[in-house]
Structure 1
Amino acid sequence: MIIEPRTRGFICTTAHPVGCAENVKNQIAYIKSKGTVVGPKKVLVIGASTGFGLASRITSAFGSNAATIGVFFEKPPAVGKTASSGWYNTAAFETEAHKKNLYAKSINGDAFSNEIKQETIALIKQDLGQIDLVIYSLASPVRTHPENGVRYKSTLKPIGDSYTNKTVDFHTGEVKEITIEPGTEEDIENTVTVMGGDDWQLWINALMKADLLSENFKTLAYSYIGPKLTEAVYRKGTIGRAKDDLEKMAFTITDALKDINGKAYVSVNKALVTQSSSAIPVIPLYISLLYKVMKAEGLQEGCIEQIHRLFNERLYLDGIPTDKEGRIRIDDWEMKASVQEQVAELWQQATTETLPEIGDLEGYTTEFFNLFGFKVDTVDYTKEANEMTAIPSIA
């Protein structure tokens, strides 16, 4: 079928299997160009199909020849209807991994559930024995808690007072003011339940109980801090409370891993165009200006460049550098004073009329559509594509 992008708000409801495959191949090519590096050998990636999770899986497999198991919740294809982009990403990843005789299997289902945890445990026992790295990279807006069956929904709200600032509709380029009402205590609690550290801890506890974690095991979750410009809606908002909880959980998990000399870390990454970040008011405008500055400074990174630098220059050093809160900081280029000063100055100038000149809205929009396999330079979208592309390891 001929597949075209169809958008609804900050999501694209279609995905292109060939475009997604090209994106994955490009990331693999980048990692291969860097040569084999010291890294993990048996890896579980929870949230493995897009963004930082996918980049972590690619970096592990093609950077250090690791066996990988990916867990995610993606929509499979149906005749005449495309799968979600993460499905096609995974199909491409597994295909390329198997060409290199790399072990790669995937589990599609609700990672918050006990059932998927147990299915994953059984697969690790059967095929890998033990694992030496778990990446936790879930970004779901909802969670059904496995213990009480309650469905919780996260929110993107400030705390205390309403918040008014600029944002951009990246489909139209219109810069306008937006006001977001503050979250309630229930909003905060729900967001922490969905996006905090509880499920990360449940995964590690279950894997540890099953004796599946090797000596010197590591686990890593991803976070974001960002500048003062975005803190009201992000770091000091409901989602920030969830990130605080996630970061504190690293210490709790590390304590539980003492007997195997294991460690849990949180990596603070840079702002990137992802399905999650596109949903956060103010962030698309900030990223558009940030990209303009970072590209001019020669500092721009995508997911794959970020994760390669994280693995190669942080996570697998003899002494892992952290900030005073114990976090790995791979957002260092974004947070350089010279970069943030320029972004703050451009923010004051940003209007519908000036943004095409002072920002990189075109780059933002292209990256957004790239997430779903569209606007990839090497793909001919006038040709028919097979929407029924399968993931090799999933029947």
Structure 2
Amino acid sequence: MVIEPKMRGFICLTAHPEGCEKAVLNQINYIKSKGQIEGPKKVLVIGASTGFGLASRITSAFGANAATIGVFFEKPPLDGKTASPGWYNSAAFQTQARESGLYAKSINGDAFSNEIKQKTINLIKSDLGKVDLVIYSLASPVRTHPVTGITHRSVLKPIGSPYTNKTVDFHTGNVSTITITPCTEEDINNTVAVMGGEDWEMWIDALIKADALSDHAITLAYSYIGPSLTEAVYRKGTIGKAKDHLEATAFKITDKLQSLNGKAYVSVNKALVTQASSAIPVIPLYISLLYKTMKEKGIHEGCIEQIQRLFKERLYTGNGVPTDEKGRIRIDDWEMRKDVQDKVAELWSLATTENLPEIGDLQGYKSDFLNLFGFGFADVNYAKDVNENITIDGLQ
């Protein structure tokens, strides 16, 4: 079938298998170009099919020659209907890993469930014995609790009072003012249940119980702080409460890993175009201005550049892991540089529908968004028929 992007709000309903493969190949080639990482050898990535999770799996495999198991929850293709992009990403990754002689297997299912945790542990025990790195990179908006059976849904809302600021419709470029109503206490609790650290801790508890973690094992989750411009809707909003919980959980997990001399970290990463970030009001405008500023300064990074630098310059230097006063790894250091933030704040005050194409990088935002779904790559022929029924080699 000929596959074209079909948009509904901040979601693309289709994905292109050859475009997704191209995106994965680009990331693999980048990692190969940066040289060997003396890093992990047996890696579990929970949330391995898109964004930072996929970049972590690629960096582990093609940067450190690690065996990897990836867990994700993706929609397979049907005749005449494409799979989700994460499905095609994972298929491309598995193919490249196999051709490179790397161990790689994947599990498709609800990572919040006890069933998928046990299935993953069984695979680790049978094939790898133990893992030395566990990446936790889930970005689901919904979680059904495996104990209570309650389904929790996260919300992106400010706390205490309404929040009004600029935003942009990145499809049209229209800059407008948006007001977001404040959350309820139930909203906070639900968001923490979905996006906080409880499930991360449950995974580590299960791995410890199964004796599936190596001595000196590291586990890593991803977070975001961002600037004062976005804090009312992000870091001081419902999602910020969830991130606070996630970061506090790292200390609890570290205590549990003491007998293994292991450690849990939260890495605070840069703002990037993801399916999740596109849904947050205000963030697309901020990212557009940030991209313009960081590209002009020659310090722009995508997911793969961020994770390569995280592994090479933070996690596996041989000289300990540098953290901030709250124990977090700060790989958002370039984004949060004073000269970068001062420039973004200046541009923010000026931004209008008319001048955004000039003072921001809305085109870069749109391009990155399309790339998430396998569209917009110059060397992919989108007019030709392609097979949407791609299978994933190594899927358990």
TM-score (ref. length: structure 1): 1.00
The equivalent residue for 2:163 is 163
Letter aligned with residue 115 of structure 1: E
Aligned-residue CA RMSD in angstroms? Answer: 0.5
1:330-345 equivalences under 5 Å are 330-345=331-346
Q: Cα distance, 1:290 vs. partner?
A: 0.2
Question: Residue 242 of structure 1 corresponds to which residue in structure 2?
Answer: 242
> How many Å separate the matches in 2 of 1:206 and 1:8?
38
Shift of 1:378: 1.1
Secondary structure in 2 matching 1:228: coil
Partner of 2:265: 265
User: Structure 1: which 5+ runs fail to align?
Assistant: none
Q: Counterpart of 1:240 in 2: which secondary structure?
A: helix
Aligned to 1:256: 256
Q: CA deviation at 1:385?
A: 1.0
Q: How far did residue 287 of structure 1 move?
A: 0.1
Instruction: Please state how far the C-alpha of 1:280 moved relative to its aligned partner.
Output: 0.4
Map of 1:196-235 to 2, 5 A cutoff?
196-235=196-235
Unaligned runs of 5+ in 2: none
Amino acid at match of 1:331: D
Deviation of 1:387 (Å): 0.2
Distance across 2 between alignment mates of 1:377 and 1:313: 32
In structure 1, distance between residues paired with 2:13 and 2:229: 31
Equivalents in 2 of 1:358, 1:78: separation in Å?
A: 42
Q: Is the 8 A contact 2:39 2:311 kept in 1?
A: yes
Name the SS for the 1:363 alignment partner: helix
How many Å apart are 1:393 and its aligned residue? Answer: 1.4
**Matching of residue 12 in structure 1 with residue 12 in structure 2:** yes
Query: Counterpart of 1:81?
Result: 81
In structure 2, the partner of 1:393 is: 394
Query: How far did residue 89 of structure 1 move?
Result: 0.1
Counterparts of 1:39 and 1:76, CA distance in 2? 32
Q: Are the equivalent residues in 1 in contact too, given 2:159–2:182 (CA < 8 A)?
A: yes
CA–CA distance in structure 2, aligned partners of residues 334 and 31 of structure 1: 21
- Distance in 1 separating the partners of 2:379 and 2:24: 13
Question: How far apart are the structure 2 equivalents of 1:340 and 1:372?
Answer: 30
Residues 181-196 of structure 1: matches in 2 within 5 Å? Answer: 181-196=181-196
* Matches of 2:72 and 2:123, distance apart in 1: 15
3-state SS, counterpart of residue 97 of structure 1: helix
Q: Which residue matches 1:45?
A: 45
1:369 corresponding residue in structure 2: 370
Quick one: distance in 1 between partners of 2:329 and 2:302?
18
Q: Could you tell me how far apart the structure 1 residues matched to 2:26 and 2:275 are? A: 19
Query: 2: distance between equivalents of 1:257 and 1:248?
Result: 15
SS at match of 1:234: coil
Distance 2:37 2:172 in 1: 43
The structural deviation recorded for 1:35 is: 1.4
Deviation at 1:323?
Answer: 0.1
Tell me how far 1:319 sits from its aligned partner.
1.3
Output the CA distance in 2 between the equivalents of 1:208 and 1:44. 14
Matched residue SS, 1:135 = strand
> Between Structure 1 and Structure 2, how many residues are aligned?
395
Residue of structure 1 equivalent to 2:95 = 95
Return the alpha-carbon distance in structure 2 between the equivalents of residues 273 and 326 of structure 1.
26
Helix, strand or coil for the counterpart of 2:234?
Answer: coil
How much has 1:394 moved relative to structure 2?
A: 2.2
State the partner residue of 1:135: 135
Q: Supply the AA of the counterpart residue of 2:198.
A: D
- Aligned mates of 2:108, 2:230 — CA distance in 1: 34
Secondary structure of the structure 2 residue equivalent to 1:229: coil
Amino acid corresponding to residue 362 of structure 1 in structure 2: Q
Instruction: Give the match's secondary structure for 1:167.
Output: strand
Residue by residue over 1:83-130, the C-alpha shift from the partner in whole angstroms, topping out at 9 and shown as x without a partner, is: 000000000000000001100000000000000000000000110000
The DSSP-based 3-state class of the residue aligned with 1:132 is strand
Counterpart in the other structure of 1:348: 349
User: Deviations 1:159-181 (Å, cap 9, x if unpaired)?
Assistant: 00000000000001000000000
| CA–CA distance in structure 1, aligned partners of residues 391 and 368 of structure 2 | 24
The Cα offsets for residues 259-306 of structure 1, whole Å up to 9 and x where unpaired, read as 000000000000000001000000000000000000000000000000
Partner amino acid for 2:214? Answer: S
**CA displacement at 1:362 relative to structure 2:** 0.4
Which whole-Å CA distance do the structure 2 matches of 1:323 and 1:342 have between them? Answer: 24
Q: Show the counterpart of 2:304.
A: 304
SS class of match (1:286):
helix
Q: Which runs of 4+ in 1 moved over 2 A?
A: none
Q: Which stretch of structure 1 is more off in the superposition, 172-181 or 314-323?
A: 314-323
